[in-house]
Copies of this chain bind each other. A is one copy, B any other.
Amino acid sequence: MSGPRLTEDELIATCFAPLAGPGGLRLLDDAALITPPADEEIVVTTDALVAGVHFFGDDPPGAIAKKALRVNLSDLAAKGAEPLGFVISLALAPKWEIEWLAAFAGGLGEDAHAYSCPLLGGDTVKTPGPLTLSITALGSVPKGRMAPRTGVQAGDRIYVSGTIGDAAIGLKLRLAEAADAPWRAGLGEQDRAFLLDRFLLPQPRMALRAAMRADARAGMDVSDGLIGDLSKMLKVSGVSATIELARVPLSPAAEAAVRASPDLFEVAVTGGDDYEVLASVDPEAAAAFEVQAQAAGVRVTAIGTARGGAGEPPVFLDFRGEPRQFARGSFSHF
A interface with B by C-beta (< 8 Å): 4, 7-9, 11, 23, 25, 28-36, 41-50, 52-54, 75-76, 78-79, 81, 85, 87-92, 120-130, 132, 134, 136, 138, 143, 146, 148-150, 220-221, 232, 236, 332-334
In the bound complex, CA of A89 to CA of B50 (Å): 11
Contact B334 A126 (CB under 8 A): yes
B125, A127: Cβ atoms closer than 8 Å? no
Choose among B43, B75, B89 the residue that contacts A46 (Cβ–Cβ < 8 A).
Answer: B89
Determine if B87 and A46 form an interchain contact, defined as CB atoms under 8 angstroms apart: yes
**Are A47 and B123 in contact, with the CB atoms below 8 A?**
yes
Whole-angstrom distance from the CB of A104 to the nearest CB of chain B?
Answer: 15
Distance between Cα atoms of A11 and B28 in the complex (Å): 37
Query: Which of the residues B76, B127, B221 comes within 8 Å of A50, measured between beta carbons?
Result: B127
Oligomer: number of copies: 2
* A35–B136 touching, CB < 8 Å: no
Pair B35/A41 contact, Cβ less than 8 Å:
yes
A87→B148 contact, CB < 8 A: no
Q: How far is the CB of A288 from chain B (nearest CB, A)?
A: 24
Q: Using Cβ atoms and an 8 Å threshold, which residues of chain B touch A88?
A: 46
Whether A34 lies near B44 (C-beta < 8 A) is yes
Look across to chain B and name the residue whose beta carbon is closest to the beta carbon of A8.
Answer: B334
A7 to B90, CA, bound (A): 26
Q: How far is the CA of A25 from the CA of B236 in the complex (A)?
A: 11
| Chain B residues, Cβ within 8 Å of A79 | 30-31
- Given the known interface contacts A43-B32, A79-B31, the answer about A127 and B132 at a Cβ–Cβ threshold of 8 Å is yes
Interface centre among A23, A122, A130, A334, by most B CB within 10 Å? A334
Told that A44-B138, A125-B334 touch, could you supply 12 new A-B pairs with CB distance under 8 A?
A8-B334, A31-B44, A32-B44, A32-B45, A33-B43, A36-B36, A45-B121, A46-B121, A47-B89, A49-B125, A124-B334, A127-B129
A28 to B, closest residue via Cβ: B236
Asked if residues B45 and A31 are in contact (CB atoms below 8 Å), the reply is: yes
Chain B residues with Cβ under 8 A from A129's Cβ?
50, 127-130, 132
Measured between beta carbons, the chain B residues less than 8 angstroms from A124 are 48, 334
Which of B42, B126, B148, B334 is A7 in contact with, Cβ under 8 Å? Answer: B334
Nearest B residue to A74, CB-CB? B30
